[in-house]
Amino acid sequence: GENVEQHPSTLSVQEGDSAVIKCTYSDSASNYFPWYKQELGKRPQLIIDIRSNVGEKKDQRIAVTLNKTAKHFSLHITETQPEDSAVYFCAALKTLSNDYKLSFGAGTTVTVRA
C-alpha cells in the first residue's frame, strides 16, 4: 500500500516568515495530494489539494508543489500569522484505485511565534 512520510514533525517559525512542510510518497500511481489543517481540539479541514497533472497550486498565502519524478510534494505558507499555528497533514490517493482511501502522513505541528 501507499506510504506517506512527512517532515518535519514540528516546526517553529517567527511571525511573518515562511513555513515549508515536505512529504514523500511511495506509490507512483498516486495522483491526488490534499493537505489538511487541524487546529487544537478541532477536526482536520482540507486547505488545499493538487492533482498530478499540475506542478504547483496557490491559494492566497498557501501553495503546494508536486514533483512526480521524485515522488514528493510540499506545502508552503508565506507571511505566517498566529492563526496558522496548527497540525498539518499531507495525504495521497490513487484516484484510479477501487476505493477512495487517503493515506496520511504523521503530521507537522506548526507554531508561529509572535
Partner 1 sequence: IAGITQAPTSQILAAGRRMTLRCTQDMRHNAMYWYRQDLGLGLRLIHYSNTAGTTGKGEVPDGYSVSRANTDDFPLTLASAVPSQTSVYFCASSRDRTSYGYTFGSGTRLTVV
Residues that bind partner 1 (CB under 8 A): 1, 6, 9, 32, 34, 36, 42-46, 49, 89, 93, 95, 98-102, 104-107
Nearer to partner 1 among residue 83 and residue 99 (C-beta):
99
Torsion of CA 42, 93, 1, 104, to 10 degrees: -20
Number of neighbouring beta carbons within 10 Å of residue 20 = 16
Q: How far is the CB of 14 from partner 1 (least distance, A)?
A: 25
Here the cell at position 11 is 516546526
CB of 104 closer than 8 Å to CB of 7: no
Q: In terms of Cα–Cα distance, which of 34, 7, 13 is closest to 84?
A: 13
